[in-house]
Structure 1
Amino acid sequence: MSSDTYDFIVVGGGTAGLVVASRLSEDPRQRVLVLEAGADTNSDPRIKIPASWVSLQGTDMDWGFRTEPQPLLGGRSIGVSQGKILGGSSSINAQVFVPCNPAVIDHWNSSLGNSGWDWETFSPYYAKAYTTPPVDDSLAVKLGIDGWTGHSSAHGPLPTSFPGNPSHPIRKAWADTFRANGHYQTQDPFIDGAQGSFSCLATVDPVTKERTSAATAYYHPNRARKNLHVLTNATVERIRFDGEDQKRATGVVYNYNGEHREVTCSKEVILAAGALQSPKVLELSGVGNTKFLGKHGIEPVIDLPGVGENLFDHLVNTTSFGAVDDLETLDPLILDPSVGEQAAKDFAERQTGLLTSMGVYTYAYLPIMEHISGEGQKRLKKLLQDNPPAPGDGPDQIRAQAYYKIAERGLLDPKQASGAYLSFIGPWGGPPEPGSRTLTLCVMLSQPLSRGSVHIGSKDISAAPIVDPNYLSNPLDLDLFAEHMLYIETLARSAPLTDLLKHPIIHRDPASDLTDLETARKWVQKNSNSMWHLGGSCAMLPRQMNGVVDSTLKVYGTTNLRIVDSSAIPLMSTANLQATVFAFAERAADLIKEAWSQK
């Protein structure tokens, strides 16, 4: 397309950006441009092969951001991978595809002031994004889904599957363990939302066994559209505005092959650069805290103090156990080159073997089990009473108080999850022991109260943003996380899951044998890392809570600038963010279409 004017300019060709661009370009009258800083390298075998996702970290397909040193994680700087590639993080992540708990989505509306954003309205957009995989009835028991009373019948662009070996015993053992304790998910979690244990989907094609992503599912099938133009290796520098009180985004300045270029829009600029870079683009464009912008010599256009604030993320922690010798794990793939060669051959010739899975088969969304008891409830209530938000009526205080009330309601409800557990068939974060097999149990703190920030450090477009998630800064988070880690020890000794482990129980790291809250706290602080589920930094919240976008995702103070990525999500998903970002972008596309249908 030779025109320098488009109806819609999408800044960022990642997960959300490609969903929105694909949907808007369904109307051949709408001219859509996507500007993506990375390349389209989705044909790289490392991307296609599910088990190769770890090898993508630190490559030129990963922005390779790191946090500021985190005082409550022993001063460590934490890596936060984000995709620098067409398809964004959906092209380099671990492919887990799980829904949010309905109560969390309902809070977007009821507790955080976003009219029209509740589970009833939002949940159909999951189904609009992905396709339910076909499942042979004979495999239902082995997959751990034989107890489901219903299955989703989604038919969206994104193929999904139950990855890897369908007969792997972890799925049935996981399902039966949670059946025994009353926390088994009785139907497909995408029907009414996840609560309890379930076998998880992955963005892996059920036929080819290759990764699927926003690039392969939304862009590649539609790249022949004459009204859709995707420009890769194009780094956006700033958004241009005109107007007085309400600013209108007129276009975008970007760098392509060392050349500064400008493109204009007739309808909207749509920001989809991700949780760490959508705030960066806004600040470089003069949208943010005016005092902060002035320090960097940037002329303010719109005073929005919430830009870059309210950053959230999931921390993950793990315990790796010695597994029985006949359990299929990824240990040999890591240790023995000949096993890797055979696995590559199996994948290439028959689409089978160890490379067909990223290693994650099962999930569970759980409360802290001890808090279900009367004594546990007393301890939890004291934790809440001892860690209230700061009083005050400023925007930051009002926002913190709202999040605290959400956490309080959820934690005191024994049916609501505060942690997400998963199994991994191999060692996590360290090399395996020669000749050994490993099963790792992991947990994420689903709704931490700690919030951080991400801001530019200079006017230099090439400079990485300053990322400070402020992990565990709310004392409540550390204690809750430690309690969830202790439950891993209970799980490891619960039948029939425990039958997959060697006995006596072997902790691959002796320090991970957690016996009380104090040892668990120390383990959390020493070993927790990011799950790269970053969001909230341009939150959809009322202005009195220092929100950045309204409930139509329009940036306050503008007439035609929207944000459609995870930075706008006001309260994080229960676990992995990918499915919720796809659904969020699908909803955003409909909102944009509705806004222009009468114009």
Structure 2
Amino acid sequence: MAGERFDVVVVGGGSAGCVLAARLAEKPGRRVLLLEAGPLTGTDDTRDVTSLAATVPGHPLNWGYTTELVSGIDAVLPRGRLLGGSSAINGGYFVRATRDDLDGWGVPGFGYDEVLPFYVRSERDLDLGDAPGHGDAGPIPVRRPAGSLLAPTTGPFLAAAAALGFPEEPDKNAGGPPGAGPVPSNAVDGVRVSAADAYLGERPSNLVVRGDTPVLGIELDRLRAVGVRTGQGLIEAGEVVLAAGALATPVLLARAGIGPGDDLRAAGIRVRHDLPVGRGFSDHPAVFLPFRPHDDTPPHPHAVTAQVALHVDSGADPAGDLELLLFSRPFTPGGPLHVMCALQRPDRSGVLSVDGSAPAVRHRYLRTEADRRRLRHAVRIAADLLRAGLGTRLEPEGFVLGNDARVDGWIRDHLTTSSHLCGTAAIGPVCDPQLRVRGTQGLRVVDTSVFPAVPRRGPAASAIMLGERAAALPWDS
């Protein structure tokens, strides 16, 4: 405990943190400590991928951060509070970022072709493992819905998309043009496989993993990180890695005096290094359109949360800036099914600041007409899919769909978020391409905080890739 020293201390046992700690410990003699603020084990809620019970506010395995989506509209952001992080409670959506995302960031070492080997290294694709660009020996199992696991609404969704002229995209991890196809999942036979399950099952003696150990702060010698402080005292480190997630990592930086100077001074924190932490983050705004399927087939008991997706170019984004996800299970018993309509390349206007010990989060969604227009378009595509054979729309009503102002009002009333927040400590303004916090020594960030923008497709697979990529960077230890 207190007085210990490790070569690398990884703060946060989420997706990237589990991967990084496991890979760094593959070097003999390198002592690695992984600290998780939550428990090391979950419950049945964290095994059954059809259950999103742990994402409900108030669940003990959910941090449940509050955000303001737009003025006057608040939401709770689920974040996994256990080893494995959000990979232990999310829907198991395991889709890579697009080539346009990765190449568009312009970060040396993080282009599509450069990171593809790390996606491949992470996965054991049980369907396409022997195909080019896929892995067959990695820790994360990847599976697409088929056979007895296929939900009865999945086929009608694909047929409706085809009837509307949308192309097929049978492999959403192939880097091809957007279209309709099955969603790869890190679940096998309905059992979610988290980053902790996949990477930390057998641990070498030089890797120590501790749960229920919140990190209170980073210990700095001037601007060199020399350790972390927990309730048990100081743990010294050759290097400190923040992998606490896009919400908690900025808080730890702020406690160390690293962040926007005005914010830190307002919070009574001594400013050590003025950096735009928490500025210009992005996330996917979304609404859920409810419907009833045309037949009386009950929801499939073993269907993963979202089995099929349609990615669409709204008019100026060939990589696909809209996503429509079919939810084949009702959110409440006997309730309707839903098509989730999400904007995948939104304006980067989010702001996170530190208010005491917690982040004050404002997504500031839909501030531009371009964003409002595109999410409007996604809602209307969902309505078209229902008319093309998927089911009966319950809302919005036709007189709403036909009027832009009314659609905007309906979206505001039903607005939510995909909880894919990225960019609070982005490569460029905050971190360098080696993931080191600019102006500091011995301090890195390895979680979705560093992505310059949220990828067009959910970041779960990319967070795993990031852990793999980071482990391959040069390390002092």
What's the TM-score once normalised by structure 1's chain length?
A: 0.74
The question of whether the paired residues in 2 share the 8 Å contact of 1:168 and 1:328 is answered with no
Larger Rg: 1
Tell me which amino acid in the other structure corresponds to 1:155: A
2:377 to 477, 483, 500: 483
Partner AA of 2:352 in structure 1: V
- Compared CA separation, residues 186 and 465, structure 1 to 2 (3 A): closer
Cα distance in 2 for residues equivalent to 1:135 and 1:117: 24
* Residue 265 of structure 1: how far off its partner (Å): 1.0
Task: Output the CA distance in 2 between the equivalents of 1:448 and 1:153.
Answer: 31
Q: Residue 77 in 1 paired to residue 99 in 2? A: no
Match of 1:313 among 275, 283, 293: 283
Q: CA offset at residue 189 of structure 1?
A: 2.4
1:13–1:590 Cα change, 3 Å: same
Instruction: After TM superposition, list the pairs within 5 Å mapping 1:248-259 onto structure 2.
Output: 248-255=224-231, 259=232
Give deviations 1:436-482, integer Å, cap 9, x for gaps: xx442221101111411222212xxxx43111111222332112211
In structure 2, the partner of 1:7 is: 7
| Residue aligning to 1:118 | 111
Number of aligned positions between the proteins: 474
Q: Is the 8 A contact 1:444 1:575 kept in 2?
A: no
Question: Which of 316, 323, 327 is the equivalent residue of 2:293?
Answer: 323
* Structure 2 match to 1:582: 464
User: Which of 437, 446, 450 lines up with 1:568 in the alignment?
Assistant: 450
Structure-2 separation of matches of 1:216 and 1:324? 39
CA distance in 2, matches of 1:269, 1:229: 15
**Equivalent residue number for residue 105 of structure 1:** 102
Going from structure 1 to structure 2, the CA distance change for 1:506 and 1:315 (only over 3 Å counts) comes to closer
Separation in structure 1 between the aligned mates of residue 254 and residue 12 of structure 2, nearest angstrom = 16
Report if the CA contact (8 A) 2:259-2:277 is conserved.
yes
2:155 corresponds to which of 159, 168, 172: 172
The SS at the match of 1:222 is: coil
Residue of structure 2 equivalent to 1:131: 124
Q: For residues 237-316 of structure 1, what are the structure 2 equivalents within 5 Å?
A: 237-243=216-222, 247-255=223-231, 259=232, 261-266=233-238, 268-304=239-275, 306-316=276-286
Match of 2:344 among 422, 431, 446: 446
Gap change, CA 1:236 and 1:211, over 3 Å in 2: same
Deviations 1:3-27 (A, max 9, x none): 7000000011111111100000111
Residue matched to 1:48:
47
5 Å-filtered alignment, 1:143-222, equals 152-163=134-145, 165-193=148-176, 195-206=178-189, 209-219=190-200, 221-222=201-202
1:184-583 correspondence to structure 2 within 5 Å: 184-193=167-176, 195-206=178-189, 209-219=190-200, 221-223=201-203, 225-243=204-222, 247-255=223-231, 259=232, 261-266=233-238, 268-304=239-275, 306-329=276-299, 354=301, 356-368=302-314, 371=315, 411=316, 413=317, 415-428=318-331, 432-433=334-335, 438-458=336-356, 463-494=357-388, 498=389, 500-501=390-391, 505-507=392-394, 510=397, 514-541=401-428, 547-583=429-465
Instruction: Give 1:145's aligned residue.
Output: none
Structure 1 position 127, deviation (Å):
1.5
Deviation of the 1:135 alpha carbon? 7.7
CA-based RMSD: 2.4
* Preserved contact between residue 46 and residue 56 of structure 1 (Cα < 8 Å): no
TM-superposed deviation, 1:314: 0.9
- 1:513 offset after TM fit, Å? 6.0
Relative to 1, partners in 2 of residues 1:454 and 1:361: Cα closer, same or farther, differing over 3 Å?
same
SS of the residue corresponding to residue 587 of structure 1 reads helix
Residue 182 of structure 1 deviates from its aligned partner by: 4.7
Q: Per-residue deviation at 1:563? A: 0.5
Greater share of residues in strand: 2
1:374 is matched with none
State the distance in 1 between where 2:208 and 2:236 align.
14
SS of alignment partner, residue 214 of structure 2:
strand
Give the Cα separation in 1 of the matches to 2:221 and 2:351: 28
Task: Output the CA distance in 2 between the equivalents of 1:485 and 1:493.
Answer: 13
For 2:242 and 2:96, the matched residues in 1 are separated by 24
- In structure 2, the CA distance between the partners of 1:124 and 1:328, relative to structure 1 (3 Å rule), is farther
Q: Unpaired runs of 5+ in structure 1?
A: 137-148, 331-353, 372-410, 542-546
CA positional deviation for 1:326: 3.3
1:68, 1:506 → 2: CA distance?
28
* Cα drift, residue 179 of structure 1: 4.0
User: Partner amino acid for 1:34?
Assistant: L
Name the residue aligned to 1:396: none
C-alpha contact 2:255 2:269 (8 A) present in aligned 1: yes
Shift in CA distance, 21/511, structure 1 to aligned 2, threshold 3 Å: farther
CA distance in 2, matches of 1:506, 1:97: 28
Identity %: 29
Q: Is 2:251–2:358's contact at 8 Å kept on the other side of the alignment?
A: no
8 Å CA contact 2:94–2:461 kept in 1: the answer is yes
Cα deviations across residues 391-415 of structure 1 (Å, max 9, x unaligned)? xxxxxxxxxxxxxxxxxxxx2x4x3
Q: Which residue of 2 aligns with 1:88?
A: 85
In structure 2, C-alpha distance between the alignment counterparts of 1:182 and 1:69, rounded to whole Å:
33
1-structure distance, mates of 2:123, 2:12: 21
